[in-house]
């Protein structure tokens, strides 16, 4: 780069001085920082030496650090033995070590963003890099420089729990709009991975669309990632559900004047919902993770849906089972990292059908890890019974569906019944009358 980047010489000197003022490295332990985050090369060398000495259990002060630098041939490089003494003398207050560290991390993040923007611009001026390559460079540059907070004491944990309880009200979370399901789940929780498993043509995608609209109506931004269906078709399903116009009419273009009026009103309602659509053309898990990170930064998404997980690839594993294991683990990790509720549609195998039973946790096609990694597993089965609770026959096009929470790490499991109106792509707690 041919321009000056932001740094703070004095702040770097003070932090290094703090690290050398306690023989056992207490100040480094309280205010650690990766040596590579220092701007000045000399300070990176000194920081790495201090960290290596503390890790090895050696005593640390300005003399022992200078001696170690001499052994490795780096003493003259950093300014001689007087410079480590100068670092210690530069510290105005030992109690400010954490402040120095946080200020330097902020500057390191600013430099990282600047480098990413500079690199992205350079990539945009030469042939070869794709838009996705440039976008990844920018997105990686936006990720903050994080430090491991270390172990947390039981006292600190108890204090955090008490603070949460003192709020007297649970933080708001999105819901599905299906009362009995929401009663089991208590809404879709952050840092949680959900799977919706069913055999073909039961309504998995439509349920995900319904959840997306329900969450968005509560003003929780929702990211819908589809590998199976175009965003226009997903949008049509949502419009059909809002307008209560038969989905097949949009395909055949057989809309009445009343249908058209309701469709226009439905499109307006849909346009006001915070739902974002993404289609990952390469169908790789890394592409999905990049999309999730970007939309978290841009739109602060709180919930995301992946339709469907088994269409993703990793490209780094020899067997498909190992590949799906890796994909599942990565998705679980990103849900936790971004603190979002991640809902993954998965396809169940036909074993349960052959055995005449409902879908269970172990029936996810391709990998057992998908079920193990999920915090909550939901199974859908079409109920062949054609009557509602009052004994009346269901309208044509309405399915009775057994919806089961078969796994829930932090809540209840249980069965419930809901109704799926395929005509309008609507999910209901009670069956409509004929």
pLDDT of residue 1: 47
Domains in the chain: how many in total?
Answer: 2
| 3-state secondary structure labels for all residues of the chain | CCCCCCCCHHHHHHHHHHHCCCCCCHHHHHCCCCHHHCCCHHHHHHHHHHHHHHHCCCCCCHHHHHHHHHHCCCCHHHCCHHHHHHHHHCCCCHHHHHHHHHHHHHHHHHHHHHHHHHHHHHHHCCCCCCHHHHHHHHHHHHCCCCCCCCCCCHHHHHHHHHHHHHCCCCCCCCCCCCHHHHHHHCCCCCCEEEEEEECCCCCHHHHHHHHHHHHHHCCCCEEEEECCCCHHHHHHHHHHHHHCCCHHHHHHCCCCHHHHHHHHHHHHHHHCCCEEEECCCCCEHHHHHHHHHHHHHHHCCCEEEEECHHHCECCCCCCHHHHHHHHHHHHHHHHHHHCCEEEEEEEECCHHHHCCCCCCHHHECCCHHHHHHCCEEEEEEEECCCECCCCCECCCCEEEEEEEEEEECCCCCEEEEEEEECCCCEEECCCCCC
pLDDT of residue 308: 86
Residue 269 is assigned to a structural domain of this protein: yes
Q: Do residues 254 and 349 share a domain?
A: yes
Point out the domain boundary residue: 117, 142, 167: 142
pLDDT, mean of residues 165-193: 87
pLDDT of residue 30: 83
CATH number at residue 24: 1.10.860.10
pLDDT of residue 132: 81
pLDDT of residue 386: 81
Point out the domain boundary residue: 86, 116, 142: 142
pLDDT digits 0-9 by tens, 79-128 = 998 999 999 999 999 989 999 999 999 999 899 888 888 888 999 999 98
pLDDT of residue 273: 96
Return the structure tokens found at 404: 């089961």
Q: Do residues 232 and 105 share a domain?
A: no
Residue 164 is assigned to a structural domain of this protein: no
pLDDT of residue 232: 93
Higher pLDDT, 16 or 293: 16
Residue 69 is assigned to a structural domain of this protein: yes
Residue 350 is assigned to a structural domain of this protein: yes
Q: Residue 250: pLDDT above 60?
A: yes
Q: Across the strands, what pairs with 290?
A: none
- Asked if residues 194 and 343 have their Cβ atoms less than 8 Å apart, the reply is yes
Closest CA to 12 of 81, 106, 75, 76: 106
Q: Across the strands, what pairs with 217?
A: none
Q: Do residues 212 and 358 share a domain?
A: yes
Q: What is the mean pLDDT of the chain?
A: 88
Q: Which domain holds residue 413?
A: 179-428
Query: Which of 46-50, 158-162, 246-250, 268-272 bottoms out in mean pLDDT, i.e. has the lowest?
Result: 158-162
Q: Do residues 209 and 357 share a domain?
A: yes
- The dihedral built from the CA positions of residue 207, 212, 213 and 218, taken in this order, carries a sign that is positive
pLDDT, mean of residues 23-36: 88
CATH number at residue 183: 3.40.50.300
Q: Residue 141: pLDDT above 80?
A: no
Q: Do residues 120 and 220 share a domain?
A: no
Residue 263 is assigned to a structural domain of this protein: yes
pLDDT digits 0-9 by tens, 280-326 = 888 899 889 988 988 988 899 999 999 989 999 987 777 888 899 99
Q: Do residues 331 and 410 share a domain?
A: yes
pLDDT more than 70, % of the chain: 91
pLDDT digits 0-9 by tens, 337-354 = 899 999 999 998 776 666
Q: Do residues 252 and 189 share a domain?
A: yes
Q: Residue 155: pLDDT above 80?
A: no
Q: Do residues 278 and 390 share a domain?
A: yes
Q: Do residues 101 and 215 share a domain?
A: no
pLDDT of residue 242: 96
pLDDT digits 0-9 by tens, 372-430 = 899 999 999 998 888 777 777 888 899 999 999 999 998 899 999 999 999 999 999 98
Q: Do residues 116 and 221 share a domain?
A: no
Point out the domain boundary residue: 79, 113, 142: 142
Residue 169 is assigned to a structural domain of this protein: no
Residue 203 is assigned to a structural domain of this protein: yes
CA 50 to chain centre: 35
Q: Do residues 87 and 208 share a domain?
A: no
Integer CA distances (angstroms), 332 to 92, 309, 377, in order: 45, 12, 13
pLDDT digits 0-9 by tens, 186-195 = 999 999 999 9
Residue 150 is assigned to a structural domain of this protein: no
pLDDT, mean of residues 1-17: 85
pLDDT of residue 361: 64
pLDDT digits 0-9 by tens, 202-245 = 999 999 999 999 999 999 999 999 988 899 999 999 999 999 99
Q: Do residues 187 and 117 share a domain?
A: no
């Amino acid at each position: 780069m041919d321009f000056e980047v932001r740094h703070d010489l004095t702040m770097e000197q003070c932090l290094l001085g703090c690290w050398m003022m306690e023989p056992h490295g207490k100040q480094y332990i309280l205010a650690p920082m990766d040596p590579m985050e220092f701007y000045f090369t000399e300070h990176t060398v000194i920081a790495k030496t201090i960290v290596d000495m503390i890790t090895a259990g050696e005593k640390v002060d300005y003399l022992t650090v200078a001696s170690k630098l001499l052994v490795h041939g780096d003493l003259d490089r950093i300014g001689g033995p007087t410079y480590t003494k100068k670092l210690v003398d530069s510290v105005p207050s030992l109690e400010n070590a954490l402040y120095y560290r946080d200020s330097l991390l902020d500057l390191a993040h600013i430099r990282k963003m600047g480098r990413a923007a500079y690199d992205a611009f350079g990539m945009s001026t030469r042939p070869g890099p794709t838009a996705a390559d440039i976008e990844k460079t920018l997105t990686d540059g936006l990720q903050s420089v994080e430090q491991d907070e270390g172990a947390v004491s039981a006292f600190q944990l108890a204090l955090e729990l008490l603070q949460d309880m003192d709020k007297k009200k649970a933080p708001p979370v999105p819901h599905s709009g299906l009362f009995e399901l929401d009663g089991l789940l208590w809404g879709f929780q952050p840092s949680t991975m959900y799977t919706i498993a069913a055999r073909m043509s039961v309504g998995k995608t439509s349920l995900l669309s319904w959840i997306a609209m329900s969450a968005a109506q509560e003003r929780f931004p929702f990211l819908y990632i589809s590998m199976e269906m175009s965003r226009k078709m997903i949008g049509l399903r949502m419009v059909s559900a809002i307008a209560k116009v038969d989905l097949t009419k949009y395909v055949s273009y057989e809309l009445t004047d009343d249908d058209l009026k309701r469709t226009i009103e439905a499109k307006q309602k849909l346009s006001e919902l915070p739902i974002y659509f993404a289609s990952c053309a390469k169908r790789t898990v890394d592409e999905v993770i990049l999309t999730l990170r970007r939309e978290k930064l841009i739109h602060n998404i709180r919930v995301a849906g992946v339709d469907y997980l088994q269409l993703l690839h990793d490209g780094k594993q020899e067997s498909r089972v190992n590949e799906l294991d890796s994909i599942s683990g990565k998705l679980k990790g990103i849900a936790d990292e971004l603190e979002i509720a991640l809902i993954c549609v998965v396809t169940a195998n036909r074993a349960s059908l052959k055995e005449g039973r409902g879908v269970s946790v172990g029936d996810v096609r391709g990998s057992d890890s998908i079920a193990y990694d999920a915090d909550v597993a939901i199974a859908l089965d079409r109920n062949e019974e054609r009557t509602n609770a009052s004994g009346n026959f269901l309208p044509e096009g309405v399915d009775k569906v057994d919806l089961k929470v078969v796994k829930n790490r932090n809540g209840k499991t249980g069965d419930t019944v809901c109704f799926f109106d395929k005509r309008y792509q609507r999910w209901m707690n009670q069956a409509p009358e004929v």
